[in-house]
Amino acid sequence: MNDRKKILIVDDTLDTVELLRKRLRSEGYDTEEAYDGEEALKKVTEYNPELIILDIMMPKIDGYEVCKRLKTDEETKYIPIIMLTAKSDVESKVKGLDIGADDYLPKPFDYKELSARVRSLFTIKAAREKLVEEKKSGALEQMMDQVAHEIRNPLTSIGGFARKVYGKLPEGDPNKKYLEMIIHDVTILEDMIKKLVEIKTMAVCCTESVNVNAIIMEAIKIFENEVKEKAIDVKTELISSIPMIHADKKLLKRALCNIIKNSIEAMTDGIRMLKITSGTIGEQVEIQISDTGKGISKDKLKNIFDPFVTSKVYGPGLGLTFTHKIILDHNGTISVESELEKGTTVTISLPINKS
């Protein structure tokens, strides 16, 4: 499994690029290279780096301008940038930091110092993302609570009166078909409110030491018939002797089922393959669920765990919101990578039960 952090190296000096590429890859990072400012901006879009090492003195567009553009773009403003330059004067350093650079290192640099700064920025980035996630989760819970409260009572009235009127109309009355539509839509909304309340009140409580592989196989079994009907090829690569994790078995199984269900629904034509793997990275158990479905566009991918956001062409979704909360409540992380018409991969990491 590839969980390597992605670093974009931008420098017009081949020797510097080669040095950084070899050293960073030896430390377990994934790297991509660019040799001028224009190529750097293009690679940021294509490669989606998690950190950028950026030289200042470059042809076409210098590092200052590249940094400025990235830091004023909502899509890239939070990517950490370390600026490198042969200029060691204070004015150059201040200019770089003023336009948004996260760190600054004069050439020639000591690689051990650069490596330490890279690790530090990744630690800061992870802490900030965790804080944002916690704030977002709290805001979502508040929003769900308000929606459930504001909609439930009028919805109950609409549904109750519609069903009452429908029952009193004679057979053949043309108004019945309109009431059927109202009742159908009200039922959908009532079910959604029920799920919102469930998300709000859901808590990890029945925790025990569990085997992730066993839970994966139980989740796959639920969709056995559907997989056969749709001719989906299911492949599993589960690491033997996988470490145990501490989890609420029922909720974790539900989280995996939500992802598998989405994957199955996304595969409507062409090659239909569902691949599920398990393994370990550091002190984490990692699960990956991949499909060859329709994929998810970038604009939807960034909000994929929000309530009512869906990758499907119909209806709002809550399944991934459930899944997101379940994984966070287990002190885990979940991420989604997708490409239109090629498929989607969901990666879940959960802490190993050290006891």
Tell me the pLDDT tens digit for each residue of 109-129. 899 999 999 999 998 988 887
Tell me the pLDDT tens digit for each residue of 196-232. 676 666 665 678 999 999 999 999 999 999 999 999 9
- Mean pLDDT calculated for residue range 274-285: 94
Tell me the pLDDT tens digit for each residue of 155-208. 889 989 999 999 999 988 999 999 999 999 988 888 777 776 766 666 656 789
Q: Which residues pair with 248 in a beta bridge?
A: 207
How many Å apart are CA 52 and CA 63, to the nearest integer?
11
What is the reported pLDDT for 315?
36
CA dihedral (222, 226, 228, 230) in degrees, to 10, reads: -150
* Full set of structural domains in the chain with CATH: 6-109 (3.40.50.2300), 133-201 (1.10.287), 207-351 (3.30.565.10)
Task: Give φ, ψ of 89 to 5 degrees.
Answer: -75, 155
Q: Which residues contact 59 (CB under 8 A, 6 or more apart)?
A: 12, 36, 37
3-state secondary structure of 19: helix
Q: Between residues 45 and 199, which one has the greater pLDDT?
A: 45
In this prediction the pTM is 0.58
- Mean pLDDT calculated for residue range 142-150: 70
Mean pLDDT of the chain: 86
- Mean pLDDT calculated for residue range 232-259: 94
Task: Give φ, ψ of 229 to 5 degrees.
Answer: -60, -35
Q: 108 preceded by cis ω (within 30°)?
A: yes
Please say if the pLDDT value at position 32 is more than 50.
yes
